[in-house]
Chains A and B, each alone.
Chain A
Amino acid sequence: MSYALAAYGVVIAGVLAYAAWLASTRRRLERELAARPVPNRG
């Protein structure tokens, strides 16, 4: 049973970690984009 639990643990932890990394990257990029000055269109 321990092998099966290890395999399921790896997959669940992997999906959660990747989703969390994508979410944090998205938040960082949104912050960077918001911090950019709006170009002068005059």
Chain B
Amino acid sequence: MGRASPLLRTSAAALLACAALWAYFVWQAPIDSMQGPIQKILYVHVPCVLGAYLGFALTASSGALYLWRRDERWDRLAAACAEVGVFFCTLVLLTGPIWAKGTWGRWWTWDLRLTLTLLLYLVFISYLLLRSFTEGSERAARFAAVYAIAGLMVIPLNYFAIDLAGGRTVHPENLGRSSLGAGMGAPFALGMLTATLAFAYLLVRRLEVSALRTALDQALANAARSEA
């Protein structure tokens, strides 16, 4: 008891190896001529956005699969994905203002991209709160699934916010093929891979906790039945 599963050990080893490589490439990446060293925040901020998008997209798809199959495991997966997604979104909302303070001179501005990121965060924080208040009921699981699918609509709005604002935004544009200079592609790609592996590792850990909670609830229910 207490030993990590082979899947967890493998994902931890892959994550550590990738994170070490990523750190090396970030350190070696050229200093941006316009922004200076602060531009290197890009290699950690955007990968955190990927983690958040991944978490929320998987929450909605697991919710849809729960509605279709009515299997509790999909509901538990949806809850775990939402929590990990909210964690990554928290990191987005922490690293973004650090970059903003150094570049714009202020921590926050009510720019469309920033506002929609905050909205996305609040939508899935509400999802987690909703679940915590109504734990265990099938009706709550169904409602949570529909809510997550509806909440997913904020992601395309968030991603295309710069285009929707018609250029009237201070947030940098989405990265294109030629956005990054020489030597900047590798740390960026490794950052995305590291974030994906970190997401997988944390999700596996979160699912283990979820399975143990279910087993404990089951044990408590069995004990109550045998006492009755």
Contact = CB atoms under 8 A, between A and B. Distances in A.
Given A3-B99, A14-B91, A33-B212, 9 more contacts: A3-B101, A7-B98, A14-B87, A19-B205, A25-B209, A29-B209, A30-B212, A36-B216, A36-B220
A7 B41 contact: yes
Interface of A: 1, 3-4, 6-8, 10-11, 14-15, 18-19, 22-23, 25-27, 29-30, 32-34, 36-37, 39-40
Contact of B206 (A1, A4, A15, A22): A22
Contacts of A23: 205
Given A3-B98, A39-B222, A30 B206 contact: no
B61 interface: no
Interface residues of B, number: 35
Given A10-B91, A34-B1, A39 B223 contact: yes
B216 A33 contact: yes
A29 B38 contact: no
Contacts of A11: 44, 48, 91, 94-95
A15 B198 contact: yes
Nearest to B225: A39
A26 B205 contact: yes
12 contacts: A1-B37, A3-B99, A3-B101, A3-B102, A4-B37, A14-B94, A18-B87, A19-B205, A26-B212, A32-B216, A33-B216, A40-B226
Nearest to B216: A33
B90 interface: yes
Given A4-B38, A23-B205, A10 B212 contact: no
Given A7-B44, A30-B2, A36-B219, A22 B99 contact: no
A19 B198 CA distance: 10
B95 A27 contact: no
B111 interface: no
Across the A-B interface, give the 6 residue pairs with the lowest CB-CB distance, nearest first: A3-B102, A29-B212, A22-B205, A7-B95, A1-B37, A7-B41
Contacts of A27: 2
B44 A8 contact: yes
Interface string B92-131: 0011001101100000000000000000000000000000
